[in-house]
Amino acid sequence: MASELINRRHEADQPASDAYYPKPIKPWFSVARPMRYMLREQRLLFVLVGIAIATVVFTIFPRSTQSSPYSDPFSGYGMRSEEESHVPGLPAFQAQRKPSLEYLNRMGATGGKIPLGLKRKGLRVVVTGGAGFVGSHLVDRLMARGDTVIVVDNFFTGRKENVMHHFGNPNFELIRHDVVEPILLEVDQIYHLACPASPVHYKFNPVKTIISFSIFFLFFLCNYVFGVGMFWFVVFLDSRVYKTNVVGTLNMLGLAKRVGARFLLTSTSEVYGDPLQHPQVETYWGNVNPIGVRSCYDEGKRTAETLAMDYHRGANVEVRIARIFNTYGPRMCIDDGRVVSNFVAQALRKEPLTVYGDGKQTRSFQFVSDLVEGLMRLMEGEHVGPFNLGNPGEFTMLELAKVVQETIDPNANIEFRPNTEDDPHKRKPDITKAKELLGWEPKVSLRQGLPLMVKDFRQRVFGDQKEGSSMATTITKTTSA
């Protein structure tokens, strides 16, 4: 109150003046005043006006379209020189190459150049089973391309060591999670590799394996046809059956539908069973035994393909299906029961190479980097599939054993044992469709790729592998220029 009275008294003491002297109006005041008003009160309008002016300027004076050198996102993976590989007779590959026109067109470029010099936008990609054999190599390629990669793995067959070299990279995330439990992620692409592919694993619990692919057929049947109460019939089977890949497939397809992501299913050549057609084309329906000892895996994958196509047709989910043939390379499980890993491990341990039957059964073997290239081309392409991804080079089991002998130990013995039930007699992919529509074919021969696998196995078998994944920089990858 005192302050107010003092102020009033001060005003009262001022001498009154009858004269009025207005300040002269400055010539630029009429322009500055609206500018100050826009800057203080109408910031959004000011920004929009600026954008409009910039648009007009860039339209009248377009930016120079002169190209500048840039790296090919596909070229950095697995390239090595002859000195790095230490494999005699293996040619050195260039670490960089120019991007293909087809790839640039897919990225939205015109005339072979990215508009306005903008770089390719990185994608958010989830890889289920990304710590496993194939998954970890796929992660390497995606990281080299500049994508943000999320690995989801429960480490049932995967190994943390396979992806440790990406720890600390801000574009890499590892989530220990079982895909049978829902997971909320915002992603652009889903590579669904989470599935035990080894005979040791899927024969250990065949009921769990087959249900992992087909149980949600029964789930929906019980819930939507016979009533919600029938759901408990499914639970009665075994609560553990949900902790497998088919419920995981359901979750991943649901995630793809929810966020609009593209979904790639890794199926298998086992869907052809013991084929009567040779080589096998994608339109061949197979010759399968639905009650055999191997049927849990074969029929489970066939069911998974059906589910993926149902989501594609019924829910407009972008789906890609790859039928993978025998694959080998570094990071394979040493004792997973597959023939290449069996032979290599036995030869390194000075054990006899076990050949089942007469050894005349045939298989085709592709190196893991060739498979990864095929998976990425399939995902980026516009064709649903299914596509055969395999190396058409065909070997009998006896021929394979002799190649392993030549590579590791020429004195290794070969031991014959009775053949297993339902073992396919012949297996060879027809990759005409992949060549024509994806522009893909394998580049690494068995005699080129096997030494790299042997090097990795030798390090792990004899325990001299250092922390991390040293093989990440030595895996060969042949790409066309």
Tokens 């419920």 map to which residue? Answer: 247
Beta-strand pair 189-192/319-324: unpaired
The SS3 assignment for 2 reads helix
Q: Are 234 and 219 in contact (CB under 8 A)?
A: yes
Q: Dump the DSSP string for 163-232.
A: TGGGTT-TTEEEEE--TTS------SEEEE--S--SHHHHHHSHHHHHHHHHHHHHHHHHHHTS-GGGHH
Establish whether 20 is a catalytic residue. no
Beta-strand pair 394-396/362-364: antiparallel
Catalytic residue among 202, 242, 272, 297: 297
Beta-strand pair 124-128/189-192: parallel
Structure token pair of residue 336 = 């997973």
Q: Are 121 and 147 in contact (CB under 8 A)?
A: no
Which residue type sits at 369? Answer: S
What are phi and psi for residue 363, nearest 5 degrees?
-140, 165
DSSP state of 389: E
Q: Are 312 and 320 in contact (CB under 8 A)?
A: no
- The 10 Å CB-count burial string (b at 16+, else e) for 450-478 is bbbbbbbbeebeeeeeeeebebbebbbbb
Half-sphere exposure of 349 (CA within 13 A, CB side): 16
Q: Are 245 and 195 in contact (CB under 8 A)?
A: yes
Structure token pair of residue 288 = 């399968």
Q: Which candidate, 306, 279, 322, 328, places its Cα nearest to that of 438?
A: 322
- The 10 Å CB-count burial string (b at 16+, else e) for 279-292 is bbebebebebeeee
Q: Are 130 and 139 in contact (CB under 8 A)?
A: yes
Q: Which candidate, 375, 366, 339, 385, places its Cα nearest to that of 428?
A: 366
The SS3 assignment for 265 reads strand
Active-site residue list? 297
